């Protein structure tokens, strides 16, 4: 008989294969090579009765992403079962970028997601975020990685 904890699978944690996880983490590292901005990816099964952006704001706080020196953290939040996502950035970024800064990136990700190309959507979005942030938060020789690069799950 299986232990009770194995009866329930974490659908978010199982959403990507280990190879897909590695591909996404590589995209985070590649994107952060261009900018002092910090990018994280968070997956969970459901929005928990909230809008994607509101839930992303909560997760951002729980992951303590506001603790970067320049307040330049970005979270890509994805609810795997609800098929909803949001891009949430810290106040340092909001002060520096124009209001529609995320629109093109989100539209591109959405196009991939509609085709069920979830890995490609997240990888493309992550790389685009790094490319865009480099103009506002260039990587310096003294830059350190302030947040983990791995994908977080709930």
**pLDDT 10s digits, 7-45:** 344 688 889 999 999 999 999 999 999 999 999 999 999
Q: What is the 3-state secondary structure (H, E, C) of the chain?
A: CCCHHHCCCCCCCCCCCHHHHHHHHHHHHHHHCCECCEEEEEEECCCCCCCHHHHHHHHHHHCCHHHCCCCCEEEEEEECCCCEEEEEECHHHHHHCCCCCCHHHHHHHHHHHHCCCHHHHHHHHHHHHHHHHCCCCECCCCCCCCCCCCCEEC
Domains and CATH numbers, the chain: 16-137+147-153 (3.10.310.50)
pLDDT of residue 11: 82
**The pLDDT of residue 2:** 44
| Average pLDDT of the chain, as a whole number | 92
**What's the pLDDT score for residue 99?**
86
CA-nearest of 141, 63, 44, 134 to 96 is: 134
Cα(100)–Cα(98) distance, rounded to whole angstroms?
A: 6
Q: pLDDT per residue over 39-65, tens digit each?
A: 999 999 999 899 999 999 999 999 999
Q: How confident is the model at residue 3 (pLDDT cuts 50, 70, 90)?
A: very low
- Tokens in use for 15? 């959403």
Bridging pattern class, strands 152-153 and 84-89:
unpaired
d(CA 66, CA 70): 9
Q: Is the pLDDT of residue 133 over 80?
A: yes
């Amino acid at each position: 008989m299986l232990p009770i904890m194995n009866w329930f699978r974490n659908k978010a944690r199982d959403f990507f294969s280990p190879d897909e996880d590695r591909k996404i983490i590589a995209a985070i590292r590649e994107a952060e090579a261009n900018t002092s901005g910090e990018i994280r990816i968070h997956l969970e099964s459901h929005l928990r009765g909230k809008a994607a952006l509101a839930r992303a704001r909560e997760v951002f706080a729980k992951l303590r992403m506001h603790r970067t020196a320049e307040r330049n953290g970005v979270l890509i939040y994805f609810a795997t079962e609800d098929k909803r996502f949001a891009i949430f950035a810290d106040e340092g970024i909001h002060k520096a970028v124009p209001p529609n800064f995320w629109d093109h990136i989100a539209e591109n990700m959405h196009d991939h997601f509609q085709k069920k190309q979830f890995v490609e959507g997240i990888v493309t979005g992550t790389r685009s975020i790094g490319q865009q942030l480099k103009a506002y938060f260039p990587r310096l020789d003294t830059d350190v990685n302030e947040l983990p690069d791995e994908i977080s799950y709930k």
